[in-house]
Chain A
Amino acid sequence: MSVLAGKELRIVGFLCNWCSYGGADTAGVARATQPTDLRIVRVPCSGRIDPLFILRALLHGADGVLVSGCHPGDCHYAEGNYYARRRLEILKQFLPVLGIDPRRFEYTWISASEGQRWQLAVTKFTQQIHELGAAPAFENAEKLIQIADMALTALRPLGTGQHAALADLKKAIVEKLPELDCVIGWQQSYDAAHSAPLFMRKPEDVEKLVWGPLNVNNLATYLPQYKGKKVGIVVKGCDSRSVTQLLQEGLINRDDVVVFSMPCEGTLDMARINQALGAYQHIDKVAYDEAGVSITADGKEHRFCMVEYAQGKCYSCATPGAVLADVRLGTPTPVTGTPATPPELALLDSMSLSERFAFWHTQMERCIRCYACRNACPMCVCRDYCVAESRDPHWLTQEDTATEKFFFQTIHALHLAGRCTGCGECQRACPVGIPILALRQQIARAVAQTFEGYRPGMNAKATPPLMGFTVEENNIKEKDWNK
Chain B
Amino acid sequence: MITRYFPADALTKVVASLADERRVLIPVTQPAVKKSVIFAPFSAGMTVELHKASVAPKEAVLPQCETLLTYSKQKDAEDPSKVNLVLDDKPQAQPTIVFGCRPCDARGFAVLDRPYLDGPFIDPYYQARRKQLIVITQTCPSVGTTCFCHWVGSGPNSTTGSDIMLTAIDGGYVLEAVTEKGEALLAGMKLEDGAPFMDKAKTARGTVEAQLAPAPDLTQAQEKIAARFNDNTFWEEQTAQCLSCGACTYMCPTCYCFNITDEGDGVCKAGRRLRTWDTCMSPLFTREASGHNARMSKAQRMKNRISHKFSTYPENWGGEFSCNGCGRCINNCPVNLDIRAIVLAAINEKGA
Q: Is the CB of B34 within 8 A of A430?
A: yes
Mask: chain B, 191-219; 1 = CB below 8 Å from A; 0 = not: 00000000000000000000100000000
Distance between A267 CB and nearest chain B CB, rounded to angstroms = 14
The stretch among B115-123, B125-133, B276-284 that forms the contact with chain A is: B276-284
B247 at the interface (CB under 8 A from A): yes
The stretch among A21-29, A248-256, A274-282 that forms the contact with chain B is: A274-282
A366 to B36, CA, bound (A): 9
Q: Is the CB of B244 within 8 A of A383?
A: yes
A431 to B54, CA, bound (A): 8
Residues of chain B within 8 A (CB-CB) of A72 are: none
Residues of chain B within 8 A (CB-CB) of A147 are: 31-33
Minimum CB distance partner of A399 in chain B: B65
Q: Is the CB of A150 within 8 A of B33?
A: yes
The stretch among A333-341, A370-378, A454-462, A471-479 that forms the contact with chain B is: A370-378
B336 at the interface (CB under 8 A from A): yes
B97 at the interface (CB under 8 A from A): no
Assuming the contacts A370-B246, A376-B243, A429-B245, asked whether A281 and B33 have C-beta atoms less than 8 A apart, the reply is: no
Residues of chain B within 8 A (CB-CB) of A371 are: 245-246, 282
Q: Is the CB of A432 within 8 A of B30?
A: yes
Q: Is the CB of A281 within 8 A of B259?
A: no
A363 at the interface (CB under 8 A from B): yes
Mask: chain A, 249-288; 1 = CB below 8 Å from B; 0 = not: 0000000000000000000010110110001111100000
Assuming the contacts A370-B250, A399-B65, asked whether A196 and B34 have C-beta atoms less than 8 A apart, the reply is: no
Q: Is the CB of B34 within 8 A of A375?
A: no
Query: Which chain B residues in 32-67 approach chain A with CB under 8 Å?
Result: 32-36, 38, 52, 54-55, 63-65
Distance between B21 CB and nearest chain A CB, rounded to angstroms = 25
Distance between B286 CB and nearest chain A CB, rounded to angstroms = 11
A224 at the interface (CB under 8 A from B): no
Residues of chain A within 8 A (CB-CB) of B143 are: 281
Cβ contact of B261, chosen from A280, A374, A397, cutoff 8 A: A397
Q: Is the CB of A374 within 8 A of B245?
A: yes
Query: Which chain A residues in 272-324 approach chain B with CB under 8 Å?
Result: 272, 274-275, 279-283, 297
How many chain A residues touch B (Cβ–Cβ < 8 Å)?
A: 55
Q: Is the CB of B30 within 8 A of A366?
A: yes
Residues of chain B within 8 A (CB-CB) of A399 are: 65, 263, 274
Cβ contact of B34, chosen from A275, A279, A297, cutoff 8 A: A275
Distance between A115 CB and nearest chain B CB, rounded to angstroms = 33
Q: Is the CB of B259 within 8 A of A282?
A: no
Distance between A385 CB and nearest chain B CB, rounded to angstroms = 9
Residues of chain B within 8 A (CB-CB) of A275 are: 34-35
Q: Is the CB of A279 within 8 A of B246?
A: no
Residues of chain A within 8 A (CB-CB) of B332 are: 431
B124 at the interface (CB under 8 A from A): no
Q: Is the CB of B145 within 8 A of A384?
A: no
Q: Is the CB of B145 within 8 A of A372?
A: no
Q: Is the CB of A271 within 8 A of B246?
A: no
Minimum CB distance partner of B341 in chain A: A190
Minimum CB distance partner of A281 in chain B: B143
Distance between A241 CB and nearest chain B CB, rounded to angstroms = 19
A389 to B245, CA, bound (A): 13
- Residue numbers of A with Cβ under 8 A of B are 145, 147-148, 150, 182, 189-191, 194-197, 199, 201, 217, 221-222, 269, 271-272, 274-275, 279-283, 297, 363, 366, 368-372, 374-376, 383-384, 389, 391, 397-400, 425, 428-435
Give 3 nearest A-B pairs by CB, closest first.
A433-B34, A271-B34, A429-B334
Q: What are 28 A-B interface contacts by the 8 Å CB criterion? A: A196-B338, A199-B237, A217-B334, A275-B34, A280-B144, A363-B32, A366-B36, A366-B38, A368-B251, A368-B277, A369-B64, A371-B245, A371-B246, A376-B245, A384-B284, A389-B284, A397-B263, A397-B274, A398-B259, A398-B274, A429-B247, A431-B54, A431-B247, A431-B251, A431-B332, A433-B33, A434-B32, A435-B32
